[in-house]
Amino acid sequence: MGGTEPQPRIDIRGLRHSYAAQPVLRGLDLQVRSGELYALLGGNGAGKSTTVSALLGLLKPDAGELRIAGVNVLTHANDARARLAYVAENVALYEHLSALENLDYFLALAGIHSEPERVVAPALTAVGLPPEAWPRPLSGYSKGMRQKTAIALALARRTPVLILDEPGSGLDPRATQELNALLLELKAEGVAILMVTHDLLSVVDIADRIGFLAEGRIVEELSAAGPERFNLAALHRRYAQAALPM
């Protein structure tokens, strides 16, 4: 990278990790800049979950460097986690609490004073969760509504980095459109977004770059260009190739 370019908000260099002597990541390099959405695609066993776990500071890789907004994940994991919000595919929120109570509780754990009218309500509104649902327990929510609540929590934290794991899971087409519009707004605000997904259709309209992960490294990377952004048929072919054993 040139000297005039800002430091990537997500910066992975030479990442290697093995489980029981079985290599999973084999020198992974991946950078995501401010205001950019990077879609990471790969088949089962490609190393996506291991990559996310490493970024969250949940495992110590065998080799390589990891930085979140300039903070070294390997030496200052808590500081790095404070600079990112993570939305998992399977939302882990309290079923007996309402959306309002979940956001208030988790924001308090993060040391954020959650003024309902200034922090919580705008986040729930932004994700399209109906106001009448806000005070109801999550036990009565659909999967899509739970996903919206988790994304609202991520928004309310106002971090420079957002990591999404299959964020469209459980969302209907309208909710997916709302999510995409929201992600475009976050990009415009300078948030760096890493989206881990299997779904090409969910990323072609909003991703700036798409990376294909196979055998623990990026085997191909494409950038959006022109009115069509990406050639979907070509992407399908590349994805199928990337998912094959190397």
Region for residue 50 given its phi and psi (left: phi exceeds 0; alpha: psi -120 to 50; beta: otherwise): alpha
Where does the pLDDT of residue 151 fall: very low under 50, low under 70, confident under 90, or very high at 90 and above? confident
d(CA 243, CA 42): 6
**Residue range 68-104, pLDDT digits in tens:** 999 999 999 999 999 999 988 777 899 999 999 999 9
Q: Tell me what pLDDT residue 244 has.
A: 55
d(CA 167, CA 207): 13
> Could you tell me where the DSSP H helices lie in the chain?
48-55, 77-81, 99-109, 121-126, 143-157, 173-188, 232-242
Cβ burial of 217 (10 Å; 0-12, 13-18, 19+) is buried
Nearest to 8 by CA among 42, 28, 38: 38
End-to-end CA distance of the chain: 28
- Are residues 223 and 51 in contact, defined by beta-carbon separation less than 8 angstroms? no
Q: Is 44 helix (H, G, I), strand (E, B) or coil?
A: coil
d(CA 24, CA 217): 9
Could you state, in order of their start, the residue ranges of all structural domains in the chain?
1-83+159-246, 92-158
Strands 10-19 and 22-32, by their bridges, are antiparallel
**Residue range 187-245, pLDDT digits in tens:** 999 999 999 988 787 788 899 999 999 889 999 899 988 888 887 777 777 766 655 55
- In CATH, the number for domain 1-83+159-246 is 3.40.50.300
